[in-house]
Every structure is written in C-alpha cells, then in structure tokens.
Amino acid sequence: MLASVVLAFGALALGYALRTDEIAFESVDRGNREIYLMDINRRLRVDLSRNAAADCCPTWIQQGAQLAFVSWRSGQAETYVMDALGGNEQQLSESTMYHFGPAWSPDRQRLTFQVFQNGNWEIYIKNADGSQPVRLTTNSVDDTTPAWRPS
C-alpha cells in the first residue's frame, strides 16, 4: 500500500512538469527491463510499464502525450503504446514476427519499425492505429533503425 502511494505521488510530481526536462528510458534496475520516466532536474523517476514481461525502446508520440515501446507481453516482441504517465497500454502489432524500433512520422499518422523475418531485419510502415502494415525493404541484409526526417 505504501509503495503504491509513493509511486502515485511520484507520478503526480512528475506530471506537474510533464513535457519539460523529462526523458523516457529503459532500465533493469529492479531485475526486469522496464520503461521509466525521469524528471532530469529533480532526478525523480517512475516505472511506467510495471509488467512482468520485458519492455524496451521507448519513443515519444503525440507531443509527449504517449509513449510507444516494445514489449514481450505476448511472448514475442511487439509494439505497444501507453499514456505518458503509464497505463492505457494498447498493443499495435500482432504477428509471428519480432517488432523493434518504432519511429513515428512527424504528423503522427504512421509508424515505421523493424521486423526480424526470414533470417534478417526488414523495415515496415503502418498506420498509427496498427493497421495496414507494408514492407518497405526486401533484401538479404539487415535494414534497421528507421528515422523520419522532421517536417
């Protein structure tokens, strides 16, 4: 109970300064890979993902209102989104392929990501809601780390 109150208080304290001087990162500090939010001025951090499965690769979306991340909750690496202070997790990918490295388009309408398929990594694009995935690269070498040009 006390830990929940402390966590909630920390989230509220961080929420006061939301979108300024904050970073999202992954850490195995508590024995499990989780997504954290840190106010860099006060060095306060909150575990946002709080899940038994490993979570990694956070990236900000919707002007900092949400985070996209990769999680093994389904038994393999899939793309998820959650609110900036944690909660409201939604799985955006469902497939037999490992998804990594989500990168959002400047207009936040599309998402690129890398998929391990047929022995190498390829780059895909899909709508922000997870629909209509399209493979962008097709070759026998690894294609990774997609990054959008800023608008």
Residue 3 and residue 46 in contact, taking contact as beta carbons nearer than 8 Å: no
H or E segment to which residue 23 belongs = strand 22-27
Q: How far apart are CA 10 and CA 45, in angstroms?
A: 7
Distances in Å between the Cα of 103 and the Cα atoms of 47, 61, 115 are 22, 9, 13
pLDDT, tens digit (0-9, with 9 covering 90-100), for 51-78: 999 999 898 886 788 898 999 998 888 8
Task: Tell whether the model's pLDDT for residue 133 goes beyond 70.
Answer: yes
Structure confidence at residue 4 as a pLDDT band (50, 70, 90): very low
pLDDT at position 11, please?
42
Architecture in CATH for domain 2-135: 6 Propeller (2.120)
Task: Tell whether the model's pLDDT for residue 8 goes beyond 90.
Answer: no
Q: Name the percent of the chain lying above pLDDT 70.
A: 84
Q: Which tokens belong to 89?
A: 């997790």
Helix (H, G, I), strand (E, B) or coil at 10: helix
